[in-house]
A and B are shown apart, each in its own frame.
Chain A
């Protein structure tokens, strides 16, 4: 059974204080790893897809990386508007279901 674990559950940062969020996964065959951002009261917004170990994707202050066992979402010099819950997910072998992690709630203080 696929498993996805995110840590920490919550992270408080000062504006400009860089950090990383972790997503550990166990799957029988990796068909991609997805990162989403979810603001309160809204649907998850798709951020990145990573397909193979060593792959990196960047978007503004965010950079996602992937190894064979985990993915990191690095946040460089975060701003208050980066505050949100970040979710990672992996598809099953058939590609028709996602297993989600519990999310990391990020709070960036000015």
Chain B
């Protein structure tokens, strides 16, 4: 089964600073990959998904961007963070031949 790795686990950044969150996948090849954001006590909001290297779809216009430089690597970025970017960021993946999404441990981002 696949394993999703994310880092860092927690991050505190000032407003206006850049952001880079990394997600890597083990145990499958050519996975669909996803970035979600979860506000405290609320549901999951899909931000980006990718079906392959260099292929990114954005679900919500925002201050963030995503890139997929390698098959098993998915990166979430921002050039200048806003207070509203604070939240819990989750990476997820789907392997070949299944619809089941598996999630990473998440990154808690606090923008101050």
Contact = CB atoms under 8 A, between A and B. Distances in A.
The answer to whether A and B interact is: yes
Interface of A: 31-32, 34, 36, 41-46, 49, 87, 89, 91, 95-98, 100-103
B108 A97 contact: no
Interface of B is mostly: strand
Interface of A is mostly: loop
Contacts of A87: 44
A91 B99 contact: yes
29 contacts: A32-B99, A32-B100, A34-B100, A36-B103, A41-B88, A41-B106, A41-B108, A42-B106, A43-B4, A43-B90, A43-B92, A43-B103, A43-B104, A43-B105, A43-B106, A46-B102, A89-B101, A91-B99, A95-B94, A96-B32, A96-B49, A96-B51, A96-B94, A98-B46, A100-B43, A100-B44, A102-B42, A102-B43, A103-B43
Contacts of A89: 101
Interface string B71-107: 0000000000000000010101010000111111110
A97 B106 CA distance: 19
Interface centre among A44, A46, A89 (most CB of B within 10 A): A44
Contact of B100 (A41, A49, A100): A49
Which bracket fits the contact residues of B? 20 to 34
A52 B51 CA distance: 27
A43 B3 CA distance: 12
Contacts of A41: 88, 106, 108
Interface centre among B6, B44, B90, B103 (most CB of A within 10 A): B44
A7 B50 CA distance: 31
A46 B100 contact: yes
Nearest to B90: A43
Contacts of A96: 32, 49, 51, 94
A34 B99 CA distance: 9
Contacts of A43: 4, 6, 90, 92, 103-106
Nearest to A96: B32
